[in-house]
């Protein structure tokens, strides 16, 4: 009988460093854009009171011989009770017989790999001298994005804004103690992004928190907070001003409010999507054209990213003897 390895938040955070995850995401995005992955659209179930959602995200990576899915709930109000907004598990199967080889905590994988993908996009699209970072949001994704941006570019300055001034101040104090760079809480989103050449939107807002009029020439934006068609963090002018790159075109045209709102308003056409970051990494698509250009990476997050990260955690944990093995059945008795 084959055992299934269960790996929790502690194991994931111990084994999956941001720099390692950025390397894994680079390979995964290349494979995805090259057609070397099977990536259906996610399914989302909403409760009758619209307090949260349950998302199911399947995928298959033939190049690494894994398949599986992430099942994750998203409840925006969880911070008030000491929980992450994203809770769930990644089910990792091998592709020879379909055995479930691992169950991996989804909260920690999501936090790390989302920021890692933004880090990869920043390396591919931001100006070489970019280093003035604005973070909109002060939660888990703001924290992991600061780490990824610190790896992607030498940071000179960090400004952060969130709707809670108290959380914003606390976040800035924690990050100042961790990084050798000034981290300043700002009174408004506009003040945070004024003159910034790197911007990460990591909020749970359904309405725009970043306006196009505020964005400096030459800036690169990672928009990660919204992953549904009915919410957006960027106003229409911000999207119109930028060259738009995505992780997955099919996902973007079906799920990304940051793209769909300006499209439905007639402000852009489908041709506004330049292409996938994976193609930039493969060298088949040009990235930034000049220093004054504004580039935008719209991140939705796709299952193959989760599966690739979970596979690394699983293989490393198995080598180090970490995790808990359980017997879930599946052996034929006759």
Tens digits of residue pLDDT in 103-151: 999 999 999 999 999 999 999 999 999 999 999 999 999 999 999 999 9
Tell me, yes or no, whether 167 and 35 share the same domain.
no
Tell me, yes or no, whether 88 and 198 share the same domain.
no
Tell me, yes or no, whether 141 and 181 share the same domain.
yes
For residue 334, tell me if it sits in a domain.
no
Tell me, yes or no, whether 66 and 136 share the same domain.
no
Tell me, yes or no, whether 247 and 132 share the same domain.
yes
For residue 21, tell me if it sits in a domain.
yes
Question: Could you give phi then psi for residue 116, rounded to 5 degrees?
Answer: -60, -40
Residue percentage of the chain with pLDDT more than 70? 99
What are the tens digits of pLDDT across the range 255-307?
999 999 999 999 999 999 999 999 999 999 999 999 999 999 999 999 999 99
Place of tokens 């945070």: 192
How many structural domains does the chain have?
2
pLDDT at 51: 76
For residue 207, tell me if it sits in a domain.
yes
What is the pLDDT confidence band of residue 81, given thresholds at 50, 70 and 90? confident
Which is more confidently placed, 332 or 81? 81
What are the tens digits of pLDDT across the range 220-255?
999 999 888 999 999 999 999 999 999 999 999 999
Which is more confidently placed, 169 or 53? 169
Say if residue 1's pLDDT is above 70: no
Tell me, yes or no, whether 134 and 283 share the same domain.
yes
By the 8 A CB rule, do 210 and 233 touch? yes
Say if residue 217's pLDDT is above 80: yes
CATH of the domain at 68: 3.30.1780.10
Instruction: Provide the residue range defining the domain that includes 64.
Output: 4-109+303-326
Say if residue 174's pLDDT is above 80: yes
Tell me, yes or no, whether 71 and 166 share the same domain.
no
Average pLDDT in the chain: 95
What are the tens digits of pLDDT across the range 2-29?
799 999 999 999 999 999 999 999 999 9
- The secondary structure of 295-330 as a DSSP string is EEEE----HHHHHHHHHHHHHHHHHHT-SEEE----
What is the pLDDT confidence band of residue 49, given thresholds at 50, 70 and 90? confident
By the 8 A CB rule, do 128 and 68 touch? no
Say if residue 52's pLDDT is above 70: yes
Tell me, yes or no, whether 189 and 252 share the same domain.
yes
pLDDT at 48: 79
Tell me, yes or no, whether 149 and 231 share the same domain.
yes
Q: Edge-to-edge strand order for the sheet containing 183-185?
A: 183-185, 157-161, 132-136, 198-201, 220-223, 295-298, 243-246, 273-276
Buried b / exposed e across 20-55, counting CB within 10 Å, b at 16+?
Answer: bbbebbbbbbbbbbeeebebeebeeeeeeeeebbbb
Mean pLDDT calculated for residue range 300-328? 97
Tell me, yes or no, whether 149 and 222 share the same domain.
yes
Q: What is the CA radius of gyration of the chain?
A: 20
Say if residue 331's pLDDT is above 80: no
Tell me, yes or no, whether 66 and 213 share the same domain.
no
By the 8 A CB rule, do 302 and 224 touch? no
For residue 150, tell me if it sits in a domain.
yes
Residue among 206, 193, 217 at smallest CA distance from 135: 193
Say if residue 192's pLDDT is above 90: yes
By the 8 A CB rule, do 144 and 115 touch? yes
Distance (Å) of CA 305 to CA 1, 30, 154, 225, 258: 29, 11, 25, 17, 21
d(CA 296, CA 1): 48
């Amino acid at each position: 009988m084959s055992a299934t390895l269960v790996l929790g938040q502690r194991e994931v955070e111990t084994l999956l460093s941001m720099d390692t995850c950025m390397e894994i995401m680079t390979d995964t995005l290349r494979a995805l854009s090259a057609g070397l992955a099977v990536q259906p659209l996610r399914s989302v179930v909403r409760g009758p009171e619209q307090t949260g959602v349950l998302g199911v995200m399947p995928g298959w990576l033939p190049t690494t011989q894994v398949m599986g899915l992430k099942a994750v709930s998203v409840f925006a109000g969880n911070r008030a009770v000491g929980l992450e907004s994203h809770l769930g598990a990644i089910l990792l199967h091998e592709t020879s017989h379909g055995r479930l080889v691992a169950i991996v905590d989804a909260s920690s994988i999501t936090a790390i790999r989302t920021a890692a993908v933004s880090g990869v996009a920043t390396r591919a699209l931001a100006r070489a001298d970019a280093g003035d970072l604005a973070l909109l949001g002060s939660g888990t994704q703001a924290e992991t994005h600061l780490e990824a941006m610190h790896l992607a570019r030498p940071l000179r300055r960090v400004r952060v804004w969130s709707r809670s001034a108290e959380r914003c101040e606390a976040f800035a104090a924690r990050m100042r103690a961790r990084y050798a760079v000034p981290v300043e809480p700002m009174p408004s989103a506009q003040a945070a992004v004024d003159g910034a050449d790197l911007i990460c939107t990591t909020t749970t807002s359904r309405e725009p928190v970043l306006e196009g009029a505020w964005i400096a020439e030459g800036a690169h934006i990672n928009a990660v907070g919204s992953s549904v068609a009915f919410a957006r963090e960027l106003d229409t002018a911000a999207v119109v001003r930028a060259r738009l790159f995505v992780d997955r075109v099919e996902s973007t045209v079906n799920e990304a409010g940051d793209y769909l709102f300006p499209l439905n308003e007639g402000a852009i056409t489908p041709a506004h999507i330049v292409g996938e970051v994976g193609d930039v990494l493969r060298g088949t698509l040009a990235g930034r054209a000049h220093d004054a250009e504004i580039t935008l990476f719209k991140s939705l997050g796709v299952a193959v990213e989760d599966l690739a990260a979970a596979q690394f955690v699983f293989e490393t944990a198995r080598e180090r003897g970490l995790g808990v093995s359980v017997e879930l059945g599946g052996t034929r008795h006759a």
